[in-house]
Amino acid sequence: MNKVTIVIPNYNGEKWLKGCLDSLRPQVQNSAITYDIIVVDDASTDKSREIVAGYRDIRLIALEKNGGFSRAVNAGIKASDSPYVILLNNDTKARPGFVQSLYNAIKNDNKCFSVSASMRMWDDEELLDSAGDIYCALGWSRSRGKGRHHGRYDRSCKIFSSCAGAAIYRKEVFDIIGYFDPVHFMYLEDLDICWRAALAGFNNKYDPNAVVLHYGSASTGSKYNSRKVIYSASNNIYVLYKNMSAIQLLLNLPLLITGFIVKTAFFIRKGLGKDYIKGLALGFKKCFGKGRGKRYKGFIKIIPRLAVLELVLLRNIFYVLRDT
């Protein structure tokens, strides 16, 4: 059995897929461990499946219906038989040593659920696209270090959430906290699952030595678009519902309302105000609609852990504002 399985969700990614797969060839990675690769095609209409068929050592899971990022990666994770799973976006190119570095970063810490890679800008490898994700009590999430020189984030450290675009996960933890929530469809599903892991007593880390180039928004388009704004806004409400205790929600309510008002004003200026408000409304429907994920049970049993997480959420306000 191989130590690692790399799962690549794909939707109409023919433009990027070959470059991504070629960067994972054993002779390129020069890894001391062996690994499997699974591409989960989410009902693409382009030539993605034909591209994957050209690689004899890569397994293709062909989904008949587009169910979103979460369903796709869940299919890949469940199909793997290795103790660790790397999730990797199709619009990435892994640098040599990527797989080995992530494996080394997670293998000796049984309390580590995930390790996020150093994702670099496609057109300027010196700049970060993400050094993991950060979330704060304003209800805002942000990629750590985005647009900054990678040298400023050259140390391994604990983070709030790994970016599922390039991260390794300890597979056995999914049996404890559940898999990626398909209600998210896309965006913040990685924040949700890492938050659930933290509530269960696990941690998430960043590894600066595992490097990938990331194009960004290859499946959904530009940085800000209607679809992305709607899904991000709705999932922001939904992730709070799932992972904050009632007391936390009440304590943070003034900050959360402030955060949502500021974001509404921001997207109005971008011409996407109606989409953002629509997303918030959709988020409340997700919280109480059919098929919703379960809220964390047992908050009363982890009060010390909740207190630490609350302090992290408050502290992160400074870092999010600084990097905005």
Taking the C-alpha atoms of residue 144 and residue 205, their distance in angstroms, rounded to an integer, is 12
Taking the C-alpha atoms of residue 197 and residue 113, their distance in angstroms, rounded to an integer, is 7
* String of DSSP letters for 137-173: TTS-EEETTTTSBGGGG-S-EEESB--TTEEEEEHHH
pLDDT tens per residue, the chain (324 residues)? 799 999 999 999 999 999 999 999 998 998 999 999 999 999 999 999 999 999 999 999 999 999 999 999 999 999 999 999 999 999 999 999 999 999 999 999 999 999 999 999 999 999 999 999 999 999 999 999 999 999 999 999 999 999 999 999 999 999 999 999 999 988 899 999 999 999 999 999 999 999 999 997 444 445 678 989 999 999 999 999 999 999 999 999 999 999 999 999 999 999 999 999 999 999 999 998 877 888 888 898 999 999 999 999 999 999 998 877
Looking at 214, 243, 268, the residue that finishes a domain is: 214
Looking at 173, 191, 214, the residue that finishes a domain is: 214
Give domain status of residue 219, yes or no: no
Same domain membership, residue 210 and residue 235:
no
Same domain membership, residue 140 and residue 19:
yes
Structure tokens at 61: 């899971």
* pTM of the shown model: 0.94
Residue recorded with tokens 């504002």: 321
Same domain membership, residue 154 and residue 75:
yes
Indicate the length of the chain as a whole number.
324
Same domain membership, residue 154 and residue 43:
yes
CB 213 within 8 A of CB 117: no
Which residue type occupies 39?
A: V
Taking the C-alpha atoms of residue 10 and residue 44, their distance in angstroms, rounded to an integer, is 8
Same domain membership, residue 241 and residue 208:
no
Structural domains counted in the chain = 2
Nearest CA to 20 among 46, 42, 39? 39
CB atoms within 10 A of CB 214: 24
Q: What residues make up the domain containing 277?
A: 226-323
